[in-house]
Amino acid sequence: MVLALKKTGSRRATQRISPRKSPHQARSRDTVDAILRATARILVKHGYEGTTTNRVAEVAGVSVGSLYQYFPGKEALVAALVERHQAEMLEALKPDPAMLGLPLDELVPRLCEAMLRAHAVNPALDSVLYEVAPRLGKPPTVLRDTGVALVKAILEIHGPKLRPLDPDLTAFMVVKTVEGLCHEATLSRPELLKDPRFLDEMSELLLRYVRPG
Protein backbone atom coordinates (compact mmCIF):
# COMPACT_ATOMS: atom_id res chain seq x y z
CA MET A 1 0.00 0.00 0.00
CA VAL A 2 1.24 3.40 -0.87
CA LEU A 3 0.06 6.37 1.11
CA ALA A 4 -0.30 9.18 -1.29
CA LEU A 5 1.25 12.34 -0.03
CA LYS A 6 0.11 15.70 -1.13
CA LYS A 7 2.36 16.31 -4.03
CA THR A 8 4.06 19.60 -3.75
CA GLY A 9 4.85 20.17 -7.33
CA SER A 10 8.02 22.09 -7.46
CA ARG A 11 10.62 21.63 -4.89
CA ARG A 12 9.42 24.26 -2.56
CA ALA A 13 5.81 25.01 -3.06
CA THR A 14 5.71 27.87 -0.63
CA GLN A 15 8.71 29.70 -1.89
CA ARG A 16 8.73 33.26 -0.88
CA ILE A 17 9.66 35.52 -3.66
CA SER A 18 10.16 38.81 -1.99
CA PRO A 19 13.50 39.77 -0.55
CA ARG A 20 14.14 39.41 3.13
CA LYS A 21 15.78 42.60 4.23
CA SER A 22 16.61 45.77 2.50
CA PRO A 23 20.25 46.59 2.86
CA HIS A 24 20.88 49.77 4.81
CA GLN A 25 24.47 49.99 5.50
CA ALA A 26 27.03 50.24 2.78
CA ARG A 27 28.38 46.83 3.68
CA SER A 28 25.03 45.19 3.13
CA ARG A 29 24.46 46.98 -0.13
CA ASP A 30 27.76 45.72 -1.38
CA THR A 31 26.87 42.22 -0.38
CA VAL A 32 23.54 42.31 -2.16
CA ASP A 33 25.21 43.78 -5.15
CA ALA A 34 27.86 41.14 -5.32
CA ILE A 35 25.22 38.46 -4.98
CA LEU A 36 23.12 39.76 -7.82
CA ARG A 37 26.11 40.25 -10.01
CA ALA A 38 27.20 36.68 -9.36
CA THR A 39 23.69 35.44 -10.03
CA ALA A 40 23.70 37.09 -13.41
CA ARG A 41 27.03 35.59 -14.33
CA ILE A 42 26.08 32.10 -13.29
CA LEU A 43 22.65 32.29 -14.82
CA VAL A 44 24.17 33.16 -18.14
CA LYS A 45 26.83 30.53 -17.87
CA HIS A 46 24.90 27.64 -16.40
CA GLY A 47 21.23 28.38 -16.84
CA TYR A 48 18.59 28.34 -14.16
CA GLU A 49 19.07 24.74 -13.13
CA GLY A 50 22.78 25.15 -12.94
CA THR A 51 22.38 28.14 -10.71
CA THR A 52 22.73 27.03 -7.13
CA THR A 53 22.70 29.19 -4.08
CA ASN A 54 26.02 27.80 -3.01
CA ARG A 55 27.62 28.55 -6.30
CA VAL A 56 26.23 32.05 -6.31
CA ALA A 57 27.51 32.69 -2.84
CA GLU A 58 30.90 31.35 -3.70
CA VAL A 59 31.24 33.43 -6.84
CA ALA A 60 29.95 36.46 -5.01
CA GLY A 61 32.59 35.90 -2.41
CA VAL A 62 30.14 35.72 0.46
CA SER A 63 28.81 32.88 2.55
CA VAL A 64 25.57 31.11 1.80
CA GLY A 65 24.31 32.42 5.05
CA SER A 66 24.67 35.96 3.85
CA LEU A 67 22.82 35.11 0.70
CA TYR A 68 19.93 33.74 2.72
CA GLN A 69 20.00 36.79 4.90
CA TYR A 70 18.81 38.80 1.95
CA PHE A 71 16.99 36.30 -0.22
CA PRO A 72 14.76 33.54 1.05
CA GLY A 73 15.79 31.22 -1.73
CA LYS A 74 16.87 30.73 -5.24
CA GLU A 75 13.66 31.94 -6.77
CA ALA A 76 13.71 35.15 -4.85
CA LEU A 77 17.27 35.64 -5.88
CA VAL A 78 16.51 35.34 -9.54
CA ALA A 79 13.31 37.32 -9.18
CA ALA A 80 15.29 40.17 -7.71
CA LEU A 81 17.67 40.02 -10.60
CA VAL A 82 14.82 40.11 -13.08
CA GLU A 83 13.38 43.06 -11.27
CA ARG A 84 16.63 44.90 -11.27
CA HIS A 85 17.43 44.10 -14.84
CA GLN A 86 14.06 45.22 -16.04
CA ALA A 87 14.32 48.38 -14.03
CA GLU A 88 17.63 49.13 -15.66
CA MET A 89 16.19 48.51 -19.08
CA LEU A 90 13.21 50.69 -18.36
CA GLU A 91 15.58 53.36 -17.22
CA ALA A 92 17.42 53.10 -20.51
CA LEU A 93 14.12 53.37 -22.28
CA LYS A 94 12.75 56.32 -20.44
CA PRO A 95 11.66 58.54 -23.32
CA ASP A 96 12.90 62.03 -23.56
CA PRO A 97 9.69 64.12 -23.17
CA ALA A 98 10.85 66.37 -25.95
CA MET A 99 11.01 63.36 -28.20
CA LEU A 100 7.30 62.77 -27.95
CA GLY A 101 6.64 65.89 -29.96
CA LEU A 102 8.54 64.59 -32.94
CA PRO A 103 6.80 63.41 -36.06
CA LEU A 104 6.23 59.68 -36.06
CA ASP A 105 8.76 59.15 -38.80
CA GLU A 106 11.42 60.29 -36.45
CA LEU A 107 9.90 59.17 -33.18
CA VAL A 108 9.46 55.52 -34.10
CA PRO A 109 13.08 54.92 -35.14
CA ARG A 110 14.27 56.62 -32.02
CA LEU A 111 12.13 54.46 -29.78
CA CYS A 112 13.12 51.34 -31.66
CA GLU A 113 16.70 52.30 -31.36
CA ALA A 114 16.37 52.79 -27.63
CA MET A 115 14.77 49.40 -27.41
CA LEU A 116 17.53 47.74 -29.38
CA ARG A 117 20.17 49.54 -27.41
CA ALA A 118 18.58 48.38 -24.20
CA HIS A 119 18.61 44.79 -25.39
CA ALA A 120 22.12 45.03 -26.72
CA VAL A 121 23.59 45.75 -23.30
CA ASN A 122 23.53 42.17 -22.13
CA PRO A 123 21.73 39.96 -24.59
CA ALA A 124 22.81 36.76 -22.94
CA LEU A 125 21.39 37.77 -19.60
CA ASP A 126 18.34 39.01 -21.38
CA SER A 127 17.70 35.62 -22.89
CA VAL A 128 17.91 33.72 -19.67
CA LEU A 129 15.81 36.15 -17.74
CA TYR A 130 13.24 36.17 -20.46
CA GLU A 131 13.13 32.43 -20.27
CA VAL A 132 13.06 32.30 -16.52
CA ALA A 133 10.70 35.14 -15.71
CA PRO A 134 7.41 33.30 -16.28
CA ARG A 135 8.30 30.75 -13.66
CA LEU A 136 8.63 33.50 -11.13
CA GLY A 137 5.20 34.81 -11.88
CA LYS A 138 6.69 37.83 -13.56
CA PRO A 139 5.76 38.88 -17.05
CA PRO A 140 8.90 38.36 -19.04
CA THR A 141 8.73 41.47 -21.10
CA VAL A 142 10.21 44.77 -20.18
CA LEU A 143 7.48 46.87 -21.60
CA ARG A 144 4.48 45.91 -19.68
CA ASP A 145 1.35 47.90 -19.14
CA THR A 146 3.37 51.06 -18.99
CA GLY A 147 4.81 50.42 -22.40
CA VAL A 148 1.44 49.65 -23.93
CA ALA A 149 -0.03 52.74 -22.31
CA LEU A 150 2.76 54.91 -23.64
CA VAL A 151 2.29 53.64 -27.16
CA LYS A 152 -1.43 54.05 -26.91
CA ALA A 153 -0.94 57.65 -25.87
CA ILE A 154 1.36 58.26 -28.80
CA LEU A 155 -1.13 56.68 -31.14
CA GLU A 156 -3.87 58.90 -29.86
CA ILE A 157 -1.77 62.03 -30.14
CA HIS A 158 -0.95 61.27 -33.71
CA GLY A 159 -4.39 59.84 -34.40
CA PRO A 160 -5.47 62.25 -37.14
CA LYS A 161 -2.42 61.51 -39.21
CA LEU A 162 -2.90 57.75 -38.97
CA ARG A 163 -5.20 55.21 -40.54
CA PRO A 164 -8.30 54.48 -38.48
CA LEU A 165 -7.34 52.00 -35.78
CA ASP A 166 -8.26 50.60 -32.40
CA PRO A 167 -5.67 52.20 -30.11
CA ASP A 168 -5.79 49.42 -27.53
CA LEU A 169 -5.28 46.55 -29.87
CA THR A 170 -2.83 48.43 -32.02
CA ALA A 171 -0.74 49.42 -29.06
CA PHE A 172 -0.62 45.82 -28.00
CA MET A 173 0.39 44.78 -31.51
CA VAL A 174 3.11 47.37 -31.70
CA VAL A 175 4.62 46.69 -28.34
CA LYS A 176 4.52 42.94 -28.72
CA THR A 177 5.91 43.08 -32.20
CA VAL A 178 8.86 45.10 -31.04
CA GLU A 179 9.46 42.96 -28.04
CA GLY A 180 9.01 39.78 -29.98
CA LEU A 181 11.49 40.90 -32.57
CA CYS A 182 13.97 42.01 -29.98
CA HIS A 183 13.66 38.78 -28.16
CA GLU A 184 13.88 36.62 -31.24
CA ALA A 185 16.90 38.54 -32.41
CA THR A 186 18.49 38.23 -29.00
CA LEU A 187 17.99 34.51 -29.09
CA SER A 188 18.90 33.61 -32.59
CA ARG A 189 20.84 36.48 -34.10
CA PRO A 190 22.13 38.85 -31.42
CA GLU A 191 24.35 40.64 -33.91
CA LEU A 192 21.21 42.12 -35.42
CA LEU A 193 20.65 44.15 -32.29
CA LYS A 194 23.38 46.47 -33.45
CA ASP A 195 22.68 46.25 -37.13
CA PRO A 196 21.17 49.48 -38.52
CA ARG A 197 19.32 47.53 -41.19
CA PHE A 198 17.43 45.68 -38.50
CA LEU A 199 16.50 48.99 -36.93
CA ASP A 200 15.37 50.33 -40.28
CA GLU A 201 13.23 47.34 -41.01
CA MET A 202 11.64 47.41 -37.62
CA SER A 203 10.77 51.07 -37.97
CA GLU A 204 9.46 50.48 -41.44
CA LEU A 205 7.32 47.61 -40.24
CA LEU A 206 5.74 49.72 -37.55
CA LEU A 207 5.31 52.90 -39.51
CA ARG A 208 3.68 51.15 -42.44
CA TYR A 209 1.40 49.44 -39.96
CA VAL A 210 -0.10 52.67 -38.69
CA ARG A 211 0.21 55.02 -41.60
CA PRO A 212 -2.94 55.78 -43.51
CA GLY A 213 -3.48 54.23 -46.89
CA neighbor of 81 nearest in space, from 41, 19, 36 = 36
Of positions 44, 64, 92, 100, contacts DNA by CB under 7 A: 64
Region at 154 (left for phi over 0; alpha for psi -120 to 50; beta for the rest)? alpha
52 interacts with a copy of itself by CB under 8 A: yes
The C-alpha atoms of residue 102 and residue 55 are separated, in whole angstroms, by 49
Closest CB to a copy of itself among residues 108, 185: 185
Q: How far is the CB of 41 from DNA (least distance, A)?
A: 15
Q: Closest Cα to residue 200, out of 132, 129, 108? A: 108
Inter-residue contact 39 to 71 (CB < 8 Å): no
Confirm if 170 and 210 have CB atoms less than 8 A apart: yes
Report 62-121 residues binding a copy of itself (CB under 8 A).
72
Pick the piece of the chain touching DNA (CB under 7 A) from 17-25, 97-105, 112-120, 178-186: 17-25
Residue 103 Cα to chain centre, angstroms: 28
Q: Give the residues lining the site for DNA (CB under 7 A).
A: 8-12, 15, 21, 24-25, 27-28, 30-31, 49-55, 62-66, 68-70, 72-75
Q: Give the residues lining the site for a copy of itself (CB under 8 A).
A: 1-3, 5, 7-11, 16, 18-22, 24, 45-52, 55, 72, 127, 131-132, 134-135, 139-141, 166, 169-170, 172-173, 176-177, 179-181, 183-185, 187-189, 197-198, 201-202, 204-205, 208-209, 211, 213
